[in-house]
Structure 1
Amino acid sequence: MLDIETGALRKMRADLAADGSVNYRMVIGEQELELNTLIGKQITLQYSGHIDCQHCGRKTKKSYAQGFCFPCMQKLAQCDMCIMKPEKCHFEQGTCREPEWGERHCMIPHYVYLANTSGLKVGITRHTQIPTRWIDQGASQALPIFKVSTRLQSGLVEVALAEFIADKTNWRTMLKGNAEPLDLKALAQALKPKIAEKLASVRLKYGTDAVTELDEEVIDLHFPVTQYLSKISSFNFDKTPEVSGILVGIKGQYLIFETGVINLRKFTSYHVSLHVA
């Protein structure tokens, strides 16, 4: 038996091993728990009804933007709409909520990638978030195809590619099993000519080195799942404070139980306790 006292929940941390296997750790307060070894065991998560903003620590009745109070959600750059839509970045207009934060997180190299999650999709990530971003999305394959100078530029390239392929993951499909393997390199070569004009426009405005074409190898990811569900039901701490069942897998930021799934990232800053029978 194992008990972890109540603490603020954070998104799961994960590492990608050399063989492509993903190893997860749950973060509750100051404690970290290796999760892969708990698959097959009875796990209970109990929500205390308490939420603290992960930025200022203020108690909040509702979590905004995955773990923030309303005032912080309104003022922090990391909660601005341009985080979800990087092509809307307004740093160069001088209206960034936190210019210093923007310098550290947005005005740095980003990658545009293809991934196989619920199928083929395009995405972007900071260079520091590889392979974390792919793990969080539940991608079974990933391939960086462009390196760009800033987040804004990566968003422009992503939007160009999104005219031809998806830019979002169908999380229910992703949790029902691994998508059929794709030849991501061949797909990338087929897509690049379709956005040649858009790439030329980005380079014309921001410089010839704003977008660099890459020739990388496909990364394969293997998630610790012993059983996928044919029908997806999701648990919600706001409706059901206690989530309990046999843990059968972990994928993306989801714990997969025999009877349903829970997205732990959605409940960042919720105070929970954990019990393993």
Structure 2
Amino acid sequence: MAQLSGHIRKMTSSLENGQVSYQLPLDDQQLDLMPLIGQKLILKHTGHIHCQECGKKTKKSYSQGFCYPCMTKLAKCDMCIMKPETCHFEKGTCREPQWGEENCFVPHYVYLANTTAIKVGITRHTQIPTRWIDQGANQALPLFKVSSRLQSGLVEIALAEFISDKTNWRNMLKGKAQPIDLQQKAKELIPQIEAKLAELQLQFGEDAIEKLDADVIDIDYPVTQYPTKITSLNFDKTPELGGVLLGIKGQYLYFDTGVINMRKFTSYEICAEF
């Protein structure tokens, strides 16, 4: 049996011809998960957690992989990342102005996705199609390209009056989403926010929001068997877990013993046996 040890980082993914492939980073090593589907994979938490920013040991992981001090001072951990409409850069209170300029004042996309139902979301231009894969979406359609994260949040809020901006993760894990005509949904939704779009363009400029004519992206995940009941696995409760790897979707590993959200345990040190 082979082994690979290190601290968990968010699973990396690639999309080719509609099929997703996954790797699990453990520090500077990459565990290719694709050959392990259908095989036994055991994950053992060593009891150590080290902040992915400063490297210090922490008893608890905050904001998916940080110690408490880093969580309170890093811009990437601020509330405005979860709620872009609360951006406070213009007030001069951004935790890290340079980081904000490099990550928030860059092109963002507002999109529709089909996880188990239609939803609206936003992502940086560099996170396409990663963001959709992380959410477990089976379809995605970019609607608008905007100039900043704040603007994407404001457009998202407008659309969220008519459709959800949340993913039902339990339903998402239970199977493949039934196809939705996202193009038709877009045609129905966009006219309902035209007044808001005009208001935002007046505020930020005509070129700030660009309506896109994009194709629907189809996404298929390497899952051999979906569960009818979701049993969550947790390193804090069960330091050694795993079993036969049945598949991967979003940031979840499917075992014959249950599912685990690997991103939740970012910065946990583990030993993978396979």
1:154 is aligned to 152
2:203 is aligned to 205
Q: SS state of the match for residue 256, structure 1?
A: strand
Hey, what's the Cα distance between the residues in 1 that align with 2:196 and 2:90? Answer: 20
Which of 37, 40, 52 in structure 2 is aligned with 1:39? 37
1:11 is aligned to 10
Hey, what's the Cα distance between the residues in 1 that align with 2:224 and 2:86? Answer: 40
Hey, what's the Cα distance between the residues in 2 that align with 1:202 and 1:266? Answer: 35
Hey, what's the Cα distance between the residues in 1 that align with 2:48 and 2:199? Answer: 49
- Partner amino acid for 1:16? L
Cα deviation digits, residues 37-76 of structure 1 (max 9, x gap): 1110111000011000000111100000000000000000
Q: How do 1:18-29 and structure 2 match up within 5 A?
A: 19-29=17-27
Q: How do 1:1-277 and structure 2 match up within 5 A?
A: 1-5=1-5, 7-17=6-16, 19-276=17-274
Q: SS state of the match for residue 83, structure 1?
A: helix
Q: TM-score, normalised by structure 1?
A: 0.98
Q: SS state of the match for residue 10, structure 1?
A: coil
Q: Measure how far apart 1:118 and its partner are.
A: 2.0
Hey, what's the Cα distance between the residues in 2 that align with 1:241 and 1:201? Answer: 52
- Partner amino acid for 1:3? Q
Q: Measure how far apart 1:259 and its partner are.
A: 2.1
Cα deviation digits, residues 77-130 of structure 1 (max 9, x gap): 000000000111111221110000000100011000000012100000000100
Hey, what's the Cα distance between the residues in 1 that align with 2:239 and 2:31? Answer: 21
Compute the RMSD of aligned alpha carbons: 0.7
- Partner amino acid for 1:28? L
Hey, what's the Cα distance between the residues in 2 that align with 1:171 and 1:70? Answer: 27
- Partner amino acid for 1:140? N
Q: SS state of the match for residue 10, structure 2?
A: strand
Cα deviation digits, residues 255-275 of structure 1 (max 9, x gap): 001121000000000000000
Residue identity over aligned pairs, in percent, reads 65
Q: Measure how far apart 1:210 and its partner are.
A: 1.0
Q: Measure how far apart 1:168 and its partner are.
A: 0.9
Hey, what's the Cα distance between the residues in 2 that align with 1:273 and 1:13? Answer: 18
Q: In the alignment, is the contact (CA less than 8 A) between 2:112 and 2:120 conserved in 1?
A: yes
Hey, what's the Cα distance between the residues in 1 that align with 2:241 and 2:185? Answer: 41
- Partner amino acid for 2:89? F
Q: TM-score, normalised by structure 2?
A: 0.99
Q: Measure how far apart 1:198 and its partner are.
A: 1.1
Q: Measure how far apart 1:29 and its partner are.
A: 1.7
Cα deviation digits, residues 188-243 of structure 1 (max 9, x gap): 01000111111111111111111110000000001000000000011111111011
- Partner amino acid for 1:200? A
Q: How many residues align?
A: 274
Q: In the alignment, is the contact (CA less than 8 A) between 2:134 and 2:251 conserved in 1?
A: yes
Runs of at least 5 residues in structure 2 that lack an aligned partner in the other structure:
none
Q: SS state of the match for residue 90, structure 2?
A: helix
